[in-house]
Amino acid sequence: MSKPSAPDAETIHIESIERTNSAVSTTSSNTEAPNAVREITIAHSPDSDDAFMFYGLATNKVRVPGYKFTHTLCDIETLNRRAQNEAFFDVSAISFHAYPYVQDSYTLMGCGGSVGEGYGPMVVALRQYTPAELSSIKIAVPGTMTTAYLALKIFNPDIETEVVPFDQIIPAVVAGKYDAGLIIHEGQLTYSSNGLYKAIDLGVWWREMTGLVLPLGGNAIRRSLGPEVHKIVSDALRNSIRHALEHREQALEYAMQFARDLDTNLASRFVSMYVNDRTLDYGLDGRKAIGKLLEMGHERGIIPIEPKVDFVD
């Protein structure tokens, strides 16, 4: 049975940085043969919250004997597409909206996710709009496979959108190229300093409608790696998150290099929003929220593939 076709590809702005950390124990007196080291490729966004999360692994504070972790940093919409089209990386950050399109090749990890606890992506504009008025204007969105886009379309399927690279949305709205923009990442904290007004916070709307957190993105791991590797890599990522939370000052200093236009106080606030106890584990309600979001997207015809959500821990 053929799979439903994916949304049309859009032109995506790519910002890619590659880092490699040899997470092999140095305590052995013997040099291990190259084939004794297993490389795990990891891809995530070049954002302060993701950098904070992966601080332990990226800086060798967390080591796994016999494993080498190679990090690629790239914008989330590109990672969504690459996971769908190539299943290229062993571990990839993805938007939850993208998961049904990659579920045959990937399963979700039980850690490393970002959820909005009553906050989330926002629609902002140069003037004040009511939520009802949004159906009469064009909104710049960061990608049709982002969870922000899915939530917006569940909110109102008739809203007209156009894809714009996420880091160009606020400048485009300020320049008057679009009536409004759907913002993600650090823009949620900086939009007002650009003279913009909030029309709707989709995290607030989602909680009012469902009583649940808004799950935005997670880490997916290739099914073909098998249960043993799944366990080892999941433990490594959870240990990396725990290390960052326990060494917050050092991890935040590392993450600041990816904090676009944020001072230390704002970067700390942003990291706290999306790296916390739920990043170590979604919790039962967090996992329920992921299923609910994707089920609603499927029921309303936004996602043509029936979601089959599962996790490795």
The set of residues, in sequence order, having a beta carbon less than 8 Å from that of 52 and lying 6+ positions away, is 244, 251, 252, 254, 255, 271, 275
* Residue in 44, 71, 97, 185 annotated catalytic: 185
Integer Cα distance of 217 and 238 in angstroms: 16
Asked if 178 and 162 count as a contact pair (C-beta separation under 8 A), the reply is yes
Provide the 3-class DSSP secondary structure of residue 251: helix
The set of residues, in sequence order, having a beta carbon less than 8 Å from that of 272 and lying 6+ positions away, is none
Among candidate residues 258, 246, 275, 267, the one with its CA nearest the CA of residue 116: 275
The set of residues, in sequence order, having a beta carbon less than 8 Å from that of 83 and lying 6+ positions away, is 89, 92, 94, 98, 101, 102, 105, 106, 220
Query: Is 185 an active-site residue?
Result: yes
Active-site annotation, residues: 185
